[in-house]
Amino acid sequence: MASAPPPPQEAVHSGRRLLSPTLFFSSSSPLRLRPSPPPPPSAHRRRSRYSRLVAASSSSSSSSAPPPPREMPWPHVLTVAGSDSGGGAGIQADIKACAALGAYCSSVVTAVTAQNTAGVQGIHVVPEEFIREQLNSVLSDMSVDVVKTGMLPSIGVVKVLCESLKKFPVKALVVDPVMVSTSGDALSESSTLSVYRDELFAMADIVTPNVKEASRLLGNVSLHTVSDMRSAAESIYKFGPKYVLVKGGDMPESSDAVDVFFDGKEFIELHGRRIKTRNTHGTGCTLASCIASELAKGAKMLHAVQVAKNFVESALHHSKDLIIGNGPQGPFDHLFKLKSPPYNVGSHQNFKPDQLFLYAVTDSGMNKKWGRSIKEAVQAAIEGGATIVQLREKDSETREFLEAAKACVEICKSSGVPLLINDRVDIALACNADGVHVGQSDMSAREVRELLGPGKIIGVSCKTPAQAQQAWNDGADYIGCGGVFPTTTKANNPTLGFEGLKTVSLASKLPVVAIGGINASNAGSVIELGLPNLMGVAYALVESQDERVDYAELHVAAEGEFAEAQRL
């Protein structure tokens, strides 16, 4: 007997229908999985989205029921382009560019290319009907602000796109007429030229050809000078877009990168730095996606173009020495900003609780008294054995404080000692310090984390178990607890004593450093308490002129007791 046919390839998971992945791929005839939902007209979609917002706010004022969650509109770009397996151009570049500029990016894939830094090895065009299906799926459901086009491989694909755009109008259309890759490989049939010119350009807000593409669009005219670029922009404008940007990045004669922007009346030359790098693969896609992102955010066209140009220039600059692939044209890093403070996750040493062991806190009063600079005080503390430093400068002017902080960052970095800034998140950001220490009347650790990012150290002063719990909830790395003894360095600071320190340390989920009136003669007694989570002592009151001696003495006292406490 023949075995029963296999069940349909569907799975049910959490109440949602999951389609077997095998159903998704078909090289020639895409399966229609289910009919697309009838698309509501775009204007209606937009009205309903905003009317819900209005309804939400008016209902909240007239009833005592909690208001429904408010929608947060996100600038949305849909890219209609080809996939680049090498990740430098096409859809992949578009998504990264939009993300870098803060726009959401959905994608309709027109072709899958086998591509790397040497060139394009193969192209697999997605069937037109399936491109239509993707367009329907996105445009019928999501409020797309701007459509950006890249590789449109055939007349049929351009026509499908034009039909979809008529059915689902969007705020703006950015057309990057990608025809030939920089490696010289054709990405679009030459027959598409006419439909680009006659249909798509008329719907476009901006068309962004490079010099080679402009030449092709105009019947292979030769373009060598900026004046030729102006003429080309004027001719392309006649096909119907509202603006034209002819990009001169690949003009051999120009020493700087000049682009010509034309709005139908005026030519504007946009000059940029030409960055010497092999990593220029995907600059065209990126520029167009950045323009689209800015338009989606509501920018005017010239401003959007300027922002896009600046972004590409910065990205090329930051990526000029990257090595990805062995071919002549490499990709660049769209997300280079993630490597700068405050997002440089992992580029600094990660916080280790035992770094709290001997915690030096600067005191401007003391520095003035002994006629030394903050930098000298920090240097001396490190030489005396300090394992972490906090700049606590309550009466410095901002500029003066920042200069001192920058100098201290260098000293601390070369000694492998983390440098924290007391209270001033702005100073910490500006000097790229390792973190910040805040108190109960300062910005909360949660807010500081938002500003500094995940890679920085955040400490919070806590006098109660509830505050210690809150610091943990807020994502702090350690707590400071005190004053353990009476202090002269901080006015109106209640003394907690050993009992208070013990209560907080026992309750804390974070490592603790004790502070307040600690010196070489009493540090041992604090460590001796052997409290769980107590990792060290903080010390600012410098009675002698030489912090090296002070810290060294403290170090010996604390270390001896620490070893003793651990032994017990």
Ligand X SMILES: Cc1ncc(COP(=O)(O)OP(=O)(O)O)c(N)n1
Token pair of 279 as six digits: 């990593």
Query: Quick one: tokens of 291?
Result: 């323009």
- Give me the least distance between CB of 345 and ligand X, in Å please: 24
HSE-up of residue 25 (Cα within 13 Å, Cβ side): 4
The interface region with ligand TZP, picked from 19-27, 103-111, 196-204, 536-544 by CB under 6 A, is: 536-544
- Interaction of residue 260 with ligand TZP, rule CB under 6 A: no
- Sheet with 104-115: strands ordered across: 120-125, 104-115, 76-84, 146-149, 172-175, 206-207, 243-247, 257-262, 267-272
417 phi-psi bin (left φ>0, alpha ψ -120 to 50, beta other): beta
Catalytic entry in 86, 90, 249, 284: 284
> What residue 292 binds from ligand TZP, Mg ion, ligand X, none (CB within 5 to 8 A, per partner kind)?
none
Residue from 133, 294, 423, 477 binding Mg ion (CB under 5 A): 423
424 counts as binding ligand TZP under rule CB under 6 A: no
Helix (H/G/I), strand (E/B), else coil: 196: helix
Of the ranges 279-287, 375-383, 407-415, 437-445, which one interacts with ligand X (CB under 6 A)? 437-445
Using CB under 5 A, pick the residue from 127, 240, 353, 439 that binds Mg ion: 439
Residue 403 CB burial class (10 angstroms; 0-12, 13-18, ≥19): middle
Q: How far is CA 233 from the centre of its chain?
A: 34
CA atoms within a 13 Å half-sphere pointing along the CA-CB vector of 52: 11
Binder to ligand X among 282, 418, 459, 517 (CB under 6 A)?
Answer: 459
Stretch that binds ligand TZP, among 263-271, 370-378, 537-545, 546-554 (CB under 6 A): 537-545
d(CA 220, CA 265): 25
Give the torsion sign (CA, 250, 147, 152, 31): positive
Long-range contacts of 82-85 (CB under 8 A, 24+ apart): 82/109, 82/110, 82/111, 82/112, 82/113, 82/123, 82/150, 82/151, 82/153, 82/178, 82/187, 83/109, 83/111, 83/112, 83/113, 84/113, 84/115, 84/282, 85/112, 85/113, 85/114, 85/115, 85/116
Smallest separation (angstroms) from ligand TZP to the CB of 263: 59
460 in contact with ligand TZP (CB under 6 A):
no
Task: Pick the closest to residue 247 from 229, 259, 261 (CA basis).
Answer: 259
**CA 227-293-157 angle, 5° bins:** 80
Per the CB < 8 A criterion, the answer to whether 321 and 371 are in contact is no
Site membership for ligand X, residue 210 (CB under 6 A): no
Of the candidate residues 423, 477, 550, 561, the single one contacting ligand X (CB under 6 A):
423
Candidate residues 287, 518, 520, 526; the one interacting with ligand TZP per rule CB under 6 A: 518
Is residue 500 at the binding interface for ligand TZP, with CB under 6 A as the rule?
Answer: no
Active site residue 148: no
Q: Which of 234, 263, 333, 442 binds ligand X (CB under 6 A)?
A: 442
Contact 38, 28 (CB under 8 A): no
- Decide: is 192 part of the binding site for ligand X (CB under 6 A): no
How many of the chain's residues bind ligand TZP (CB under 6 A)? 14
User: Does 309 participate in catalysis according to the annotation?
Assistant: no
Identity of the residue, 100 or 445, whose beta carbon is nearer to ligand X in the bound complex: 445
- Known active-site residue 247: yes
Q: Please choose, out of 32-40, 163-171, 483-491, 499-507, the segment that lies near ligand TZP by the rule CB under 6 A.
A: 483-491
Q: CA 173, CA 375: separation in Å to the nearest integer?
A: 55
Q: Which is nearer to ligand X, 442 or 559 (CB)?
A: 442
Q: Which of 125, 135, 197 has the alpha carbon at shortest distance from 166?
A: 135
Contact flag: residue 463 with ligand X (CB under 6 A) = no
The window from 5-13, 151-159, 188-196, 513-521 that contacts ligand TZP (CB under 6 A) reads 513-521
Question: Which is nearer to ligand TZP, 343 or 498 (by Cβ)?
Answer: 498
Q: How far is the CB of 510 from ligand TZP (least distance, A)?
A: 17
What residue type is 528 in one-letter code?
Answer: E
Residue 57 CB neighbour total at 10 angstroms: 11
**Would you state the structure tokens that stand for residue 423, as one six-digit string?**
């209270």
Task: Check residue 92 for interaction with ligand X (CB under 6 A).
Answer: no
490 is catalytic: no
Residue 461 contacts ligand X per CB under 6 A: yes
Question: Residue 487 interacts with ligand TZP (CB under 6 A)?
Answer: yes
Report the alpha-carbon distance of residue 439 to residue 249 in Å, rounded.
Answer: 52
* List 280, 286, 362, 489, catalytic entry: 280
- How many Cα atoms sit within 13 Å of 458 on the Cβ side? 29
- Separation between Cα atoms, residue 237 and residue 267, nearest integer Å: 12
Please report whether residue 361 would count as binding ligand TZP according to CB under 6 A: yes
Does residue number 442 form part of the binding site for Mg ion (CB under 5 A)? yes
330 binds ligand X (CB under 6 A): no
Q: How far is the CB of 404 from Mg ion (least distance, A)?
A: 18
- The least distance separating ligand TZP from the CB of residue 541, rounded to whole angstroms, comes to 3
Asked about 284 being catalytic, the answer comes back as yes
Stretch that binds Mg ion, among 295-303, 431-439, 495-503, 529-537 (CB under 5 A): 431-439
3-class DSSP state of 537: strand
Among ligand TZP, Mg ion, ligand X, none, residue 540 binds (CB under 5-8 Å by kind): ligand TZP
Choose between 169 and 439: whose C-beta lies nearer to ligand X: 439
Burial 359-375 (b: 16+ CB within 10 A, else e): bbbbbbebbeeeebebb
Q: Return the residues of window 166-185 that contact ligand X according to CB under 6 A.
A: none
* Strand boundaries in 392-434, DSSP class E: 419-422
Following DSSP, what letter does each residue of 54-121 receive, concatenated? HHHHHHHHHSSSPPPPPP----EEEEEEEEETTSSSHHHHHHHHHHHTT-EEEEEEEEEEEE-SS-EE
Q: Rule CB under 6 A: is residue 392 a binding residue for ligand X?
A: yes
Single out the catalytic residue among 96, 171, 247, 463: 247
CB of 519 to ligand TZP, least distance (A): 7
Q: Which amino acid is at 464?
A: T
Nearer Cβ to ligand X (400/564):
400
Binding site for ligand TZP (CB under 6 A): 361, 482-483, 487, 489-490, 493, 515-518, 539-541
Binding site for Mg ion (CB under 5 A): 423, 439, 442
Binding site for ligand X (CB under 6 A): 359, 361, 390, 392, 422-423, 437-439, 442, 459, 461, 480, 490, 513, 515, 538
Instruction: Kindly list the catalytic residues.
Output: 247, 280, 282-285
